[in-house]
Amino acid sequence: MVSGIPWLTVLWATPTVGAALVILLPAAQRVLAKWFALAVSLAVLAITAVLAVGFDPGGEQFQFVESHRWIPSFGTGYILGVDGIALAIVVLTAVLVPLLIIAGWNDADGQTGLRGRSVQTYLALTLAVEGMVIMSLVSLDILLFYVFFEAMLIPMYFLIGGFGGANRSKAAVKFLLYNLFGGLIMLAAVVGLYVVTAGSDAFDAGTFDFRAIVAAVASGEFVVNPAVMHLLFLGFMFAFAVKAPLWPFHRWLPDAAVEATPASAVLMMAVMDKVGTFGMLRYCLQLFPDSSLYFQPLVVTLAVIGIVYGAILAIGQTDVMRLIAYTSISHFGFIILGIFVMTSQGQSGSTLYMVNHGLSTAALFLIAGFLVSRRGTRLINAYGGVQKVAPVMAGTFLVAGLATLSLPGLAPFISEFLVLIGTFTRFPVLAVFASTALVLSAIYILWMYQRMMTGPVTDGNDRIRDLLPRELVVVAPLIALLLVLGVYPKPALDVINPAVDHTLTTIDQPDPVPRLAEGPTP
């Protein structure tokens, strides 16, 4: 690898600058804008591949580190670095965005009210979200992270409100208000953290340097009143719980997912929302280990409720897109559960689940979107017999659905299995309750497939076309990745596991020692 290149800066700046260039293209150059945006996203993927190849899982915790002065008087700097957990989500982001641009190739065509630049605006907003998500993942300065954590809401708001369905304005406002409120609470906690670092003997002055604060916490040099740390933890956790989302802070997600275009909905659920669970794993646990342990029973209980709640509500949906949105609430419950059980299996499973959920949700939601665009309705009962007229679409929909219910041999199974094992070692009763989602997910996926794809061809479905070449270009890589990671997750886990071990060592939470039942003495 070429040394001296600020790879992480290049990584996040490429889509950000690309977004600015796309929006400047003439209104008539819609086709050029599409190809240029796709080229930019592929360049991001290439840079990510370079980082992934050059990353040493057995090396330093944070690699490709860049550190520069930003606002010295505030104790904040331009500090970037990537560990195995962040790298896994960066790779997911870089893989999905080119596929989402291809999937939404025609989503902005025919839009009005944007001075003839609807296509350019749509693509620029998509690239802007990618750049801000990547910056959030690689930032090692808390204030820098917060700035981009909040900034990504703006382009996503316009993607939902400008290009979505009939009720897009209401859904976009709901999305923005929920997340902005969570962000404002977090801002108070960020400021509070700076104040307590400024008043501590562990630091010469207030600081936002994540690594410095974590090192001081781990060594015992940074000691603060537990009640203050609990409040700061809750400020961070609330914002991440809204973003993730964790039950009962999920109310914005179903409406936003349904009203956004399928590509934008996947960008939101599979990419942007992962910053919430990533924040829990990096910031909540490592900055506030004692508070994380104090609130652990509450968080894991909410996570299990979300798992079961999302699955039950998915069963009762009549709208296929809303059904898939509720499955994501259930899956985010699994991810958060694995993070807060604080075991190596649970956290490795959660990180891998972030990746696998992104792939499976992208496949299922996009294929459903292709089907809805042909039929013109999201109602499940309007379909029937699709597998007879569009067998490839039905077959890929089935594979994506089976991945969503964590069928063995497909990627989500490994991650869900690890989360349940990690949970059982600390909270066996909650692990049993969480396991009920395995049955519930089989009900909502297989029943949906039966109603939509099997049986006689319903009136109006006989004209449904099978997947087009452009759509196959989107679906085929997702299905392939679900299969490959389902049978051989080792490359991903080799990168994730050392980062998880670093986290557990930092918060001083070793895996529980198995207890063997005592038998009769021979």
| DSSP string for residues in 331-342 | HHHHHHHHHHTT
Examine the pLDDT at 104 and tell me if it is beyond 50.
yes
Examine the pLDDT at 113 and tell me if it is beyond 60.
no
Exposed/middle/buried for residue 31 (C-beta within 10 Å: 0-12, 13-18, 19+): exposed
pLDDT of residue 111: 63
Examine the pLDDT at 304 and tell me if it is beyond 90.
yes
Residue among 97, 141, 117, 153 at smallest CA distance from 275:
153
Q: What is the pLDDT of residues 397-412, one digit of tens each?
A: 999 999 988 889 999 9
Separation between Cα atoms, residue 322 and residue 334, nearest integer Å: 19
Within 8 A by CB and 6+ apart from 431, the residues are 420, 423, 424
Examine the pLDDT at 146 and tell me if it is beyond 50.
yes
Residue 390 · residue 427 · CB < 8 Å: no
pLDDT of residue 75: 77
Exposed/middle/buried for residue 459 (C-beta within 10 Å: 0-12, 13-18, 19+): exposed
Tokens of 263: 């590509």
Within 8 A by CB and 6+ apart from 465, the residues are 374, 390
Q: What is the pLDDT of residues 335-374, one digit of tens each?
A: 999 999 989 899 999 999 999 999 999 999 999 999 988 8
Measured CA to CA in angstroms, residue 89 lies from 166, 211, 287, 404 at distances of: 32, 20, 21, 19
Mean of the per-residue pLDDT values for the chain? 88
Q: What is the pLDDT of residues 63-90, one digit of tens each?
A: 999 988 888 777 788 999 999 999 999 9
| Per-domain boundaries in the chain | 295-511
pLDDT of residue 514: 64
Within 10 angstroms of residue 238's Cβ, the number of other Cβ atoms is 20
Examine the pLDDT at 480 and tell me if it is beyond 90.
yes
Q: What residue type is assigned to position 43 of the chain?
A: A
pLDDT of residue 374: 86
The proportion of the chain whose per-residue pLDDT surpasses 70, expressed as a percent, equals 96
pLDDT of residue 233: 93
Give Cα 404 distance to the centre of its chain.
Answer: 15
Q: pLDDT grade, residue 520 (50/70/90)?
A: low
Examine the pLDDT at 208 and tell me if it is beyond 90.
no
Separation between Cα atoms, residue 398 and residue 260, nearest integer Å: 23
pLDDT of residue 419: 92
Q: pLDDT grade, residue 114 (50/70/90)?
A: low
Examine the pLDDT at 218 and tell me if it is beyond 60.
yes
pLDDT of residue 378: 85
Examine the pLDDT at 521 and tell me if it is beyond 80.
no
The proportion of the chain whose per-residue pLDDT surpasses 90, expressed as a percent, equals 49
Residue among 311, 329, 316 at smallest CA distance from 269:
329
